[in-house]
């Protein structure tokens, strides 16, 4: 087992709404990420994927607030650090972020190179213009961007170029963990593939050490990441390797999620898509017991009352279900 880069223990963060209500959008999330590995987070919209991404940065500003739990990056507990220290010592160098809206992520009135200068000078105020320029140019080449793009404003770049520019800026300080929040959702399939390939290349080259990839497209994750975590109503419901999660999902929600998509393989032409009935719970008032119980067709009355803990299974798998692995397999066999 290689070195653990990111360790998250029982992380809880909340949004405070205008009416002073607490909405726990990340609730009791724990996982470990090892060096050289990538993990995907999947779930339907509003389940807290993006909030989890923001929470992992360890830098909170309203309306998002930290509640409890710990984030440890490379042995350093960033949840104990002062916000300003996190900003200077963690953001960009330890953990970096590719936002969901990469199209609008660049300041419209600042040239790309100027922004890169700003970013690098946060961590190294003495960096010379030439060093910054050389590094930026080298990274741009790596991402197949013309070096002229450095001297342009974001409006002068095409959508795909903006996307790659944001990737280049996010990884400019060689972060240990890169969080990509749906970096490809606004792109066509070919550009998606290119973006993913680039991030993978960056990892192969050791520029980034590990990656968290957030998406709502499960099949995409199968091709991109080593592990997959499925999130439902602010909690992780199941964790496992990509193979396990795609071909052998255990949790009823993961199973439902897999059943609701088409996999481009033989036999899918005849397969039926089954949607999961119902809607996700309101996070302002999460239900007692298992949060998926309302919509779960295997739920027993106990599910709605008992608090469900994460159970550790063989092969490093984790599942948040009242039923054991054996029981779940029994249930699925009947169908």
Partner 1 sequence: MSEPVKNPDDKIPDDFQAPKNSGDSDNPNDESDISTSSWERFRRNGYTRYYTKRTIWFLVTLVAAAILNFILPRLMPGDPLAAIMQRVAVGLHDAEQVRAIYYHYLQLFGLDRPVIEQFFIYFGNLFRGDLGLSFSRFPRPVSDIISNAVPWTIGLQLPAILTGWIIGNFLGAIAAYRRRIFDKIVMPASLFVSGIPAFGLAVILLAVFALNLGWFPVTGGYEIGLIPHFSWRFISSIIEHYHLPFWSIVLISIGGQALGMRSMSIYELNADYVRYSRFMGIKDSKIVRYVFRNAMLPQVTGLALSLGTMMGGAIVAEIIFSYPGLGTALLQAVREGDYPLVSGITLVITVMVLASVFLLEIIYGLIDPRVKTTQYE
Binding site for partner 1 (CB under 8 A): 54, 57, 59, 61, 87-88, 90-92, 96-97, 99, 101, 104-110, 115, 118-119, 122-123, 146-148, 153, 155-156, 166, 169-170
Beta-sheet pairing, 64-73 with 95-98 = unpaired
Two tokens at 331?
Answer: 């249930």
Q: How far is the CB of 118 from partner 1 (least distance, A)?
A: 6
Min separation Cβ 23 and partner 1, Å: 18
Q: How far apart are CA 27 and CA 12, in angstroms?
A: 5
List the strands of the sheet with 22-34, edge to edge. Answer: 22-34, 4-16, 64-73, 76-77
Smallest distance from partner 1 to CB 221, Å: 23
Cβ-contact 86, 58 below 8 angstroms: yes
Q: Which of 9, 7, 11 minimizes the C-alpha distance to 25? A: 11
Residue (148 or 335) nearer to partner 1, CB: 148
In the complex with partner 1, which residue's Cβ is closer, 20 or 333? Answer: 20
- Say if CB 115 and CB 92 are below 8 A apart: no
- Give φ, ψ of 22 to 5 degrees: -95, 130
What is the β-pairing status of strands 76-77 and 64-73? antiparallel
Which residues neighbour 73 within 8 Å (Cβ) at sequence distance 6 or greater?
Answer: 5, 6, 58, 90, 94, 95, 176, 177
C-alpha 47/C-alpha 283 separation (Å) is 9
Nearest to 64 by CA among 22, 3, 123: 22
CB of 312 to partner 1, least distance (A): 32
- Minimum Å gap between C-beta 82 and partner 1 is 13
**In this complex, which beta carbon is closest to partner 1, that of residue 93 or of residue 200?**
93
Closer CB to partner 1, residue 153 or residue 298? 153
Q: How far is the CB of 258 from partner 1 (least distance, A)?
A: 32
Q: Which is nearer to partner 1, 101 or 271 (CB)?
A: 101
The distance of closest approach from Cβ of residue 83 to partner 1 in the complex, given in angstroms and rounded to an integer, is 10
Rounded CA separation 70/18 (Å): 27
- Nearer to partner 1 (CB atom), residue 88 or residue 295: 88
Q: Which is nearer to partner 1, 16 or 262 (CB)?
A: 16
Which backbone phi and psi does 192 adopt, to 5 degrees? -55, -50
């Amino acid at each position: 087992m290689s070195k653990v880069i990111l360790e998250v223990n029982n992380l809880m963060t909340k949004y405070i709404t205008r009416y002073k209500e607490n909405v726990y959008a990340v609730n009791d999330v724990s996982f470990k990420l090892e060096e050289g590995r990538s993990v995907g987070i999947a779930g339907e919209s509003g389940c807290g994927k993006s909030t989890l991404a923001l929470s992992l940065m360890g830098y909170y500003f309203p309306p998002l607030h930290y509640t409890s739990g710990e984030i440890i990056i490379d042995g350093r507990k960033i949840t104990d650090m002062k916000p300003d220290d996190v900003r200077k010592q963690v953001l960009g160098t330890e953990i970096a972020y590719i936002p969901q809206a990469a199209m609008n992520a660049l300041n419209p009135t600042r040239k790309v190179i100027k922004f890169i200068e700003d970013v690098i000078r946060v961590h190294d105020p003495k960096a010379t213009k030439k060093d910054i320029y050389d590094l930026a140019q080298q990274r741009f080449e790596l991402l197949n961007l013309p070096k002229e793009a450095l001297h342009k404003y974001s409006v002068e770049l095409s959508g795909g170029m903006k996307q790659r520019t944001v990737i280049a800026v996010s990884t400019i300080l060689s972060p240990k963990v890169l969080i990509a929040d749906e970096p490809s959702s606004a792109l066509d399939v070919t550009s998606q593939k290119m973006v993913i390939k680039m991030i993978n290349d960056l990892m192969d080259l050791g520029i980034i050490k590990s990656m968290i990839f957030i998406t709502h497209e499960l099949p995409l994750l199968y091709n991109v990441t080593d592990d997959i975590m499925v999130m439902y109503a602010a909690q992780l419901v199941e964790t496992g390797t990509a193979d396990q999660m795609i071909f052998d999902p255990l949790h009823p929600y993961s199973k439902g999620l897999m059943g609701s998509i088409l996999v481009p393989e033989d036999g899918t032409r005849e397969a039926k898509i089954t949607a999961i009935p119902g809607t996700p719970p309101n996070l302002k008032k999460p239900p007692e017991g298992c949060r998926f119980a309302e919509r779960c067709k295997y739920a027993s009355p106990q599910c709605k009352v008992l608090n469900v803990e994460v159970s550790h299974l063989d092969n490093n798998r984790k599942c948040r279900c009242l039923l054991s692995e054996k029981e779940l397999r029994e249930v699925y066999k009947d169908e």
